[in-house]
Amino acid sequence: MTLIQEIDYGTPASKAEKTVRLVIDGNTIEVPEGTSVMRASMEAGIQVPKLCATDMVDAFGSCRLCLVEIEGRNGTPASCTTPVAEGMVVHTQTGRLKDIRRGVMELYISDHPLDCLTCAANGDCELQDMAGAVGLRDVRYGYDGENHVKARQNGEANPRYMAKDESNPYFTYDPAKCIVCSRCVRACEEVQGTFALTIEGRGFESRVSPGMHESFMSSECVSCGACVQACPTATLQEKSVIEIGQPEHSVVTTCAYCGVGCSFKAEMRGEEVVRMVPWKDGKANRGHSCVKGRFAWGYATHQDRILNPMVREKITDPWREVSWEEAFAHVAKEFRRLQFQYGKGAIGGITSSRCTNEETFLVQKLVRAGFGNNNVDTCARVCHSPTGYGLGKAFGTSAGTQDFDSVEHTDVVILIGANPTDGHPVFASRLKKRLRQGVKLIVIDPRRIDLVRSAHIEASHHLPLRPGTNVAVLTALAHVIVTEGLFDEAFIRERCDWSEFEDWASFVADPAHSPEATEVYTGVPAEELRGAARLYARGGNGAIYYGLGVTEHSQGSTTVMAIANLAMATGNIGRPGVGVNPLRGQNNVQGACDMGSFPHELPGYRHISGSEVRDVFEKLWGVELNPEPGLRIPNMLDAAVDGTFRGIYIQGEDILQSDPDTKHVKAGLEAMECVVVHDLFLNETANYAHVFLPGSTFLEKDGTFTNAERRINRVRKVMSPKNGLADWEVTLKLAQAMGLGWHYNHPSEIMDEIAATTPSFANVTYQLLEEKGSVQWPCNEAKPDGTPVMHLDGFVRGKGKFIRTEYVATDERTGPRFPLLLTTGRILSQYNVGAQTRRTDNVAWHAEDRLEIHPHDAEQRGIREGDLVKLSSRSGETALHATITERVAPGVVYTTFHHPGTQANVITTDFTDWATSCPEYKVTAVQVSPSNGPTAWQQDYEAQATQSRRIAREDALEPAE
């Protein structure tokens, strides 16, 4: 194993199709027009010395090291800023160039510490490399003059010296080592789009400054790591490298956080991760990362991880550590007993959107083939199940239509109910880059999210709708498109059913759906909405991106259909730059859905009632499958309370914290006789579990994740599972204990079974993934290289289906008791229930869930910034601290759900999407009032959790003297 060394071409690739030929050091090379001489040289295998250039940012031309000579041109132009030209003859190494470069390096080194041996970047320092490359042997200027290096000089404090900034938990900034190449500043601007860094001062005074001469932590920095990656020296350095040293090998793998699915190089020393560095060839992230994927992997070795299986009789007992064999035998015995006693349908399972495709496939197989029922569900129930239903109805397949690269061809973006700068930060950076290049943006969101207006970007339209009125707003957009004749008739006639379109068009054209009529209850100014509709319909390639603000409503599925209608009506589907793009929440929620995690469908979205589909699996598995749909998560809990559902196997999912109406979830879990939790930590659900099976992290196993663009990415094992078994092995051994004759030696064999049974995965093998890096399904005989853009020539279902979308107000209404609307969301530094990110230094950014409230609402209630407030709904009440902000409109409050101490879901109700039972997280009528302490619920909860997490120590059982 070796360290993967990516080639740095110095400047970004040119997208030009026309090529030019030139000669560099006697080599003739053909490159796209617009390529820099530096990049052309690198492509010819000639490395021109450089410091300020790197191919993640545009050329800058400041270091004067990459100079070349070009025949027929005067002087020594910088190769990074000089584009190639036909017939150009370039010399990269001449006597004149050597002298200039050595002179430049002498100046750099005269103001740089000479502590290479003890420097954290030793062996990975471009300044060191360049000193070697130019043959620097002496620094004629000496080191005694003015400098930024020495804290004290001539017995006095050196005013130019600045101490190391160690405020960020993950990296340090050492101004003494800075060569002011501006790579970090440009990475922050061009790659991340945050503009947190600048160069302050002029000439010799210049230095990198976060914000206005602030520390990194107090600046706008979002800790994405792009600056650290760009830094050629140890000025910006990962603390993990400082602590451990340079890595010796690396493995490409896939981040286990959000649905963007970034590719990373896990840089290792033995089995210890030194750092995670975004991989340039990763097709989802193109070399970028966020604070979670780049830095927040420390949970993998956190002391809270449970490494031994545990069992207990009652949930009030302390846990008892047992062997794996005993745990498996216990679960098998209990599950069989429950089925014997209460019926075959008395048990079920939940697959994990955090686990691999192979692992979710095995869990649903265990339920269908082993339990003999279809009581399997997954966390997509509470996030994107309406996407599955809505897009399935409209297009015939339930997934995003594009790849992330598609945004490079987009002219207008509609963003609905998503906050990518927090939830999907790496995609947000790509989007922001496009916005800075002139792409227009329409934001439909009750909150004024960062993309509405922040550094160098501004949305053309922000439609700040009242939570719960998505369908009314989208139908009003359709109204404008139809009544103003902005639809694409040719596309509709060719690709959709014209009579269905006519029916739909007459429906949306009803004056009741006009922006003027709906403004009364949506709160969206009619003129603004009309402007947005015109822009989307006529602004060129229009793409819709959406998140859980669309799906998590009682009309979630209807909203997804309304989105599909808009895309079809304007012809914005079936080519790069357009489409309908759900931003999926968890790393493998797309995959979990693909793998047949829903109770009504087998892998590949095929309904369980189809005998032909069942036949495929029945033959392979040698069992008869139940043709009836199984229970969904909320129904499992209902059935548990009713007494017909008694046991559950939950892999990598914390339903007690993440699912709505916590009291209902608690009642359901309490009613069960055997709750098996398979997880990394004693999560909240485990407080009600009878068996705990320790899980493994993404670093400890092989498999695949499928991201929001349907991309199947490899997850590669870089260390042995601390708990002894990878998660797929745990399910496998559990199945074997239940008497199933399963045999898999490696996850690749599970993928082979998926491919053999699921047409959209037919050609997927680990070998193909090795060759191609990743593929997007469908990947089969018709599409051997996968499918970046779907519905190119026709919809999967044949003709696209227009569906009427009548707005129905949710029954969750504000009133005198609960006058405010609560909506929930996430924040950049934390992930989902926080089980992972709370166990990293990310808590430095978000140590608790806070309630955002408008100044007007706060003042009415006598609430000041930072006050503890009680948040109550008809479901329950909790206490948390208030943040007063105009990001939320008057009448709306907002919080996150990352911390179990807050339990935001005590507040949310049991209202659900009409089609999929996806909970209505985004609308809850609440009241906010000053509080003087945690609520009774929080206190009881804390007491129960503490009691439930006790683990019996064997020595404690010894009798006392």
Partner 1 sequence: MSPDKLRYQANQIATFFASQPEAEQIEGVADHINKFWDPRMRTQLFEITDESTEGFKPMVVAALGKIRRPEKAPAAG
| Contact in structure between 390 and 558 (CB atoms under 8 Å) | yes
Q: In this chain, which of 225, 259, 345, 542 binds partner 1, going by CB under 8 A? A: 345
- Indicate the length of the chain as a whole number: 961
Using CB under 8 A as the binding rule, whether residue 808 contacts partner 1 is answered as yes
Smallest distance, partner 1 to C-beta of residue 631, A: 5
Closest by CA to 549, choosing from 453, 425, 402, 422, is 422
Closest by CA to 581, choosing from 552, 536, 550, is 550
Angle between helices 611-621 and 747-757 (to 10 degrees): 150
| Contact in structure between 386 and 560 (CB atoms under 8 Å) | yes
Query: Identity (one letter) of the amino acid at 504?
Result: W
Query: Is 642 or 859 the residue whose CB approaches partner 1 more closely?
Result: 642
The three-class DSSP label of residue 184 is helix
Burial track 277-303 (b if 16+ CB lie within 10 A, e otherwise): bbbbebbbbbbbbbbbbbbbbbbbeee
Q: In this chain, which of 731, 805, 895, 935 binds partner 1, going by CB under 8 A? A: 805
Using CB under 8 A as the binding rule, whether residue 344 contacts partner 1 is answered as yes
Q: DSSP secondary structure string, 525-557? A: -HHHHHHHHHHHHHSSSEEEEE-HHHHSSTTHH
| Contact in structure between 876 and 907 (CB atoms under 8 Å) | yes
Q: What is the CA radius of gyration of the chain?
A: 29
E-strand ranges in 279-410 read 310-311, 320-321, 347-351, 376-378
Using CB under 8 A as the binding rule, whether residue 798 contacts partner 1 is answered as no
Q: In this chain, which of 905, 917, 938, 948 binds partner 1, going by CB under 8 A? A: 917
Query: Is 310 or 674 the residue whose CB approaches partner 1 more closely?
Result: 674
Closest by CA to 417, choosing from 824, 925, 886, is 824
Q: DSSP secondary structure string, 199-239? A: EESSGGG-EEEETTT--TTTSS----SHHHHH-SSSSEEEH
Q: In this chain, which of 235, 378, 554, 696 binds partner 1, going by CB under 8 A? A: 554
Using CB under 8 A as the binding rule, whether residue 386 contacts partner 1 is answered as no
Query: Is 249 or 804 the residue whose CB approaches partner 1 more closely?
Result: 804
Stretch touching partner 1 by CB under 8 A, among 247-255, 444-452, 632-640, 931-939: 632-640
Using CB under 8 A as the binding rule, whether residue 248 contacts partner 1 is answered as no
| Contact in structure between 187 and 227 (CB atoms under 8 Å) | yes
Applying the rule CB under 8 A, the residues between 600 and 629 that interact with partner 1 are: 600, 607, 609, 628-629
Stretch touching partner 1 by CB under 8 A, among 168-176, 336-344, 834-842, 879-887: 336-344
Calpha distance 429→288 (Å, rounded): 9
Stretch touching partner 1 by CB under 8 A, among 57-65, 202-210, 244-252, 337-345: 337-345
Using CB under 8 A as the binding rule, whether residue 916 contacts partner 1 is answered as yes
Query: Is 195 or 914 the residue whose CB approaches partner 1 more closely?
Result: 914
Query: Is 258 or 568 the residue whose CB approaches partner 1 more closely?
Result: 568
Q: Both tokens of residue 179?
A: 């060569």
Calpha distance 542→563 (Å, rounded): 12
Q: In this chain, which of 168, 356, 364, 375 binds partner 1, going by CB under 8 A? A: 375
Smallest distance, partner 1 to C-beta of residue 417, A: 19
Using CB under 8 A as the binding rule, whether residue 804 contacts partner 1 is answered as yes
Using CB under 8 A as the binding rule, whether residue 912 contacts partner 1 is answered as yes
Residue with tokens 């290792």: 268
Using CB under 8 A as the binding rule, whether residue 635 contacts partner 1 is answered as yes
Stretch touching partner 1 by CB under 8 A, among 33-41, 254-262, 887-895, 908-916: 908-916
Using CB under 8 A as the binding rule, whether residue 425 contacts partner 1 is answered as no
Q: In this chain, which of 342, 491, 498, 845 binds partner 1, going by CB under 8 A? A: 342
Using CB under 8 A as the binding rule, whether residue 856 contacts partner 1 is answered as no
Q: In this chain, which of 503, 670, 749, 865 binds partner 1, going by CB under 8 A? A: 503
Calpha distance 661→903 (Å, rounded): 10
Smallest distance, partner 1 to C-beta of residue 808, A: 6
CA 770 to chain centroid, in Å, comes to 23
The shares of helix, strand and coil residues in the chain, as percent rounded to the nearest 5, are 35, 20, 45
Query: Is 561 or 769 the residue whose CB approaches partner 1 more closely?
Result: 561
Using CB under 8 A as the binding rule, whether residue 915 contacts partner 1 is answered as yes
Using CB under 8 A as the binding rule, whether residue 800 contacts partner 1 is answered as no
Q: Both tokens of residue 1?
A: 């194993």
Using CB under 8 A as the binding rule, whether residue 381 contacts partner 1 is answered as no
Query: Is 449 or 631 the residue whose CB approaches partner 1 more closely?
Result: 631
Smallest distance, partner 1 to C-beta of residue 914, A: 4
Task: Output the furthest CA–CA distance in the chain (Å, rounded).
Answer: 97
Smallest distance, partner 1 to C-beta of residue 546, A: 19
Q: 568-607 mask for partner 1 (x: CB under 8 A)?
A: -------------------------------xx------x
Run of H or E including 677: strand 674-679
| Contact in structure between 284 and 917 (CB atoms under 8 Å) | no
Residue ranges of the alpha helices (H) in 643-765? Answer: 655-658, 662-671, 727-737, 747-757
Smallest distance, partner 1 to C-beta of residue 509, A: 14
Query: Is 808 or 943 the residue whose CB approaches partner 1 more closely?
Result: 808
Stretch touching partner 1 by CB under 8 A, among 113-121, 225-233, 453-461, 801-809: 801-809
Smallest distance, partner 1 to C-beta of residue 689, A: 23
Calpha distance 627→761 (Å, rounded): 23
Stretch touching partner 1 by CB under 8 A, among 176-184, 198-206, 791-799, 915-923: 915-923
Stretch touching partner 1 by CB under 8 A, among 194-202, 338-346, 451-459, 738-746: 338-346
The three-class DSSP label of residue 159 is coil
CA 89 to chain centroid, in Å, comes to 46
Within 8 A by CB and 6+ apart from 579, the residues are 400, 401, 402, 406, 543, 544, 567, 572, 573, 789, 790
Stretch touching partner 1 by CB under 8 A, among 291-299, 444-452, 580-588, 805-813: 805-813
Smallest distance, partner 1 to C-beta of residue 552, A: 15
Using CB under 8 A as the binding rule, whether residue 112 contacts partner 1 is answered as no
Q: DSSP secondary structure string, 764-821? A: --HHHHHHHSEEES--SSS-TT--SSS-SSSBTTBSB----------S----SSS-EE
Using CB under 8 A as the binding rule, whether residue 644 contacts partner 1 is answered as yes
Query: Is 518 or 763 the residue whose CB approaches partner 1 more closely?
Result: 518
Closest by CA to 686, choosing from 420, 301, 385, 947, is 947
Using CB under 8 A as the binding rule, whether residue 662 contacts partner 1 is answered as no
Size of the site for partner 1 (CB under 8 A): 38
Q: Both tokens of residue 104?
A: 């430049």
Smallest distance, partner 1 to C-beta of residue 567, A: 20
Stretch touching partner 1 by CB under 8 A, among 66-74, 257-265, 833-841, 913-921: 913-921
Smallest distance, partner 1 to C-beta of residue 434, A: 36
Smallest distance, partner 1 to C-beta of residue 810, A: 10
Calpha distance 517→508 (Å, rounded): 12
Q: In this chain, which of 632, 678, 791, 850 binds partner 1, going by CB under 8 A? A: 632
Calpha distance 108→88 (Å, rounded): 31
Stretch touching partner 1 by CB under 8 A, among 127-135, 158-166, 169-177, 800-808: 800-808
Smallest distance, partner 1 to C-beta of residue 420, A: 29
User: Site residues (CB under 8 A) for partner 1?
Assistant: 342-346, 374-375, 503, 507, 554, 557-558, 599-600, 607, 609, 628-632, 635, 638-639, 641-642, 644, 803-806, 808, 910, 912, 914-917
